[in-house]
Structure 1
Amino acid sequence: MSSFKDRLPPISQMGPFIALAIACAIFGMTTDNFFTGANFALILQQVMVVGVIAIGQTLVILTAGIDLSCGMVMALGSIVMTKFAVELGVPAPLAILCGIGVTAGFGLINGLLVTRIKLPPFIVTLGTMNIAFAITQLYSGAQTVSDLPPFMTALGGTFDIAGAPVAYGTVVMVLLYLGAWFWLRETASGRHVYAVGNSPEATRLVGIPTDRVLLWVYVLAGVFYGIASLLLVARTEVGDPNAGQTENLDAITAVVLGGTSLFGGRGMILGSLVGAIVVGVLRNGLTLMGVSSVYQVLITGILVIIAVTVDQLSRKGAR
């Protein structure tokens, strides 16, 4: 008979929840208004964009890649869908699809460069990050887009749960995580993502089309960035060409804090959701304490380094 200790989840799966509990405890003791339903609803509303970006980033990192372009591609998607709707008169649903199509197109470009030309994901996405930023600034004229149609901002609306205003976009984020979790856990194509990250050569030898898996992972990541674009527009009610500059680091932080290994092949998608909430709790709590945004970014960067160090040490210990 197995002991209680043997039945406990591994520490890599418990880590995100432990970090969340510690962060909540610290801010609950040091601030006055942290433990309120309204504040928790606000945190979820603030992380819904980063949370959806983190889904795409998790898929890429599971294959031992990384996508540095996610924030800027998201910003481009938001500008495309808002300008199409406001200035070109494109119906809002079609304009949204156009924005998601652009972000998926960037995912396709990333995937083709990684799989066909065999360029490192870091270099590829560093390049497309700058390309997306330049296109966003040129197309928008560095100006925000406002007066959006109601359909485009509907997900920013709220409904009450126990008196707390919960955004519809938060529900969308949770549903997307559940869908991604089911796909990765219960389908053959989802398990192929893990296999490619564990050992591309071994995966290829057993007949799994490694390049096709990688290509579709990058395209699917682009789709998630496009959905994040819509959630950003719904939350802010503008198309902002300067968006996406902190979401990149926050999404990677969420994925790493959530227990996904930067070396690929190991991680859980729901951990990224918890990681995103940890980032949101951190930002929210530090803001309530009066800590400037500069120091918040500094602390986030330190967290990434600590999480990657722990991952590296755990890999060495497993050998």
Structure 2
Amino acid sequence: MTAAVEERFSAREFLLRAPAVGPALALLLAIAVFSLTTDTFLDPDNLSLVVQQSLVIGTLALGQTLIILTGGIDLANASAAVVATLVMALLVLAGTPGWLALVAGVVTTALIGLVIGGLVTQIRLPPFIVTLGMLTMLTAIAKLLAGGEAVPTGDDLLTWLGTRRYLFGGIEITYGMTLCLLMYLVVWYALTRTAWGRHVYAVGNAPEAARLSGIKVNRTLLSVYLTAGVIFGITAWQALGRVPNADPNAYQLGNLDSITAVVLGGTSLFGGRGSVLGTLMGALIVAVLRSGLTQLGVDALYQDVATGALVIAAVVFDRLARRQR
């Protein structure tokens, strides 16, 4: 085998073993292109805005990653987060302390995750069907709770994540950015440094083989849906930090956007392969593309076409990579 062939195989093996590398390179390429084709893309204010715009979808995508790693999918994650924003806002409106309203919102999404996980593990329903039905139910529940109108949130704690601070005198950050980064680091550690994380990957790769090796597959799946539910509750908190109103019509495409971020981040839709760091890159790629194309004057519909094409390309690459493995 020649040196060139060996180098090609080693590079391909590296990309297969480190799925976050490809998305990171794609993100850097997109930033470089837009920095050369626009005058304002690299402005600190614009870069801060790009990150802020990715927070809600990025947090949704974190929970979505856990579910997709097990071979499942969640179409109801954004609707669950919207219901949680309404629960928080309505409780505060009724005089409940903000911290208790926040806990109630997170508990709501956690219970939704437990219901979905129970149906998937105990009755063995396909996650797609369960979450599709849950999406319909939660969308209706959100509108019933709000009466079709946005509910203002007047509590400081519920909007605290939107508080702005400045680094080095000019770089704007929010508490939501810090919390999102910490969540990614915690989940990354859990997936890569704990037995639970190894079980999640094993279940996604081959659930029957995982069961035969002694892994409690149903317990692992249930813990994943519960953890994702908690993350979706925190997403609701992020959403109220971005816009201090609980809107029943918000984030209607949040489920698809979160899946887009996960796929662009290199996580396989077939389960068992991927990383949360890749998902973080994927969420930033989506935000960078929308910001850059908007500054170039590209119509939003064409932006959707470009994003959809990227998703298809990412799935094709994943399929080819799995065949080579």
TM-score normalized by the length of structure 1 = 0.95
Structure 1 position 4, deviation (Å): 8.2
Picking from 53, 58, 75, the partner of 1:46 is 53
Give the aligned partner of residue 107 of structure 2.
Answer: 101
Instruction: Indicate the SS of the match to 1:160.
Output: strand
| 2:15 is aligned with 1:10 | yes
Distance 1:94 1:291 in 2: 44
8 Å contact kept, 1:73–1:132: yes
Distance 2:7 2:188 in 1: 26
Picking from 127, 134, 145, the partner of 2:151 is 145
Structure 1 position 246, deviation (Å): 2.4
Instruction: Indicate the SS of the match to 2:39.
Output: coil
| 1:67-120, Cα deviation, whole Å (9 max, x unpaired) | 11111111111111111112x111111101111111111111110111011111
| 1:223-260, Cα deviation, whole Å (9 max, x unpaired) | 11110100000111111111121221221111111111
Count of residue pairs the alignment pairs up: 316
Distance 2:153 2:85 in 1: 14
CA RMSD in angstroms comes to 1.7
**Identity in percent:** 47
| 2:293 is aligned with 1:275 | no
Give the aligned partner of residue 126 of structure 1.
Answer: 132
Give the aligned partner of residue 249 of structure 1.
Answer: 256
Larger deviation: 4-13 or 217-226?
4-13
| 2:214 is aligned with 1:172 | no
Aligned 1:110-121 pairs, distance under 5 A: 110-121=116-127
Distance 1:229 1:300 in 2: 25
Distance 2:309 2:137 in 1: 28
| 2:224 is aligned with 1:240 | no
Structure 1 position 317, deviation (Å): 2.1
| 1:254-307, Cα deviation, whole Å (9 max, x unpaired) | 111111111100111111011111111011112212233333333222221111
Distance 1:298 1:4 in 2: 35
What is the identity, as a one-letter code, of the residue corresponding to 1:10?
A: L
What is the identity, as a one-letter code, of the residue corresponding to 1:265?
A: G
Give the aligned partner of residue 210 of structure 2.
Answer: 203
**Unpaired segments ≥5 residues, structure 1:** none
| 2:32 is aligned with 1:25 | yes
Give the aligned partner of residue 229 of structure 1.
Answer: 236
Instruction: Indicate the SS of the match to 1:10.
Output: helix
8 Å contact kept, 1:147–1:238: yes
Structure 1 position 32, deviation (Å): 1.4
Distance 2:260 2:153 in 1: 33
Larger deviation: 178-187 or 309-318?
309-318
Aligned 1:250-265 pairs, distance under 5 A: 250-265=257-272
| 1:131-153, Cα deviation, whole Å (9 max, x unpaired) | 11010011111111114211111
Distance 2:26 2:198 in 1: 27
Give the aligned partner of residue 212 of structure 1.
Answer: 219
Picking from 88, 95, 102, the partner of 1:89 is 95
Moved over 3 A (4+): 2-9
8 Å contact kept, 1:156–1:234: yes
8 Å contact kept, 1:81–1:95: yes
Give the aligned partner of residue 312 of structure 1.
Answer: 319
Larger deviation: 273-282 or 289-298?
289-298
Picking from 43, 50, 69, the partner of 1:36 is 43
Distance 1:77 1:312 in 2: 36
Instruction: Indicate the SS of the match to 2:123.
Output: coil
Distance 1:85 1:173 in 2: 24
Give the aligned partner of residue 193 of structure 2.
Answer: 186
Instruction: Indicate the SS of the match to 1:166.
Output: strand
Instruction: Indicate the SS of the match to 1:259.
Output: coil
Instruction: Indicate the SS of the match to 2:209.
Output: helix
Instruction: Indicate the SS of the match to 1:165.
Output: strand
Query: Aligned pair in 2 of structure 1 residues 147, 209: CA closer, same or farther (>3 Å)?
Result: closer
8 Å contact kept, 1:250–1:300: no
Aligned 1:284-295 pairs, distance under 5 A: 284-295=291-302
Distance 1:286 1:244 in 2: 21
What is the identity, as a one-letter code, of the residue corresponding to 1:232?
A: A
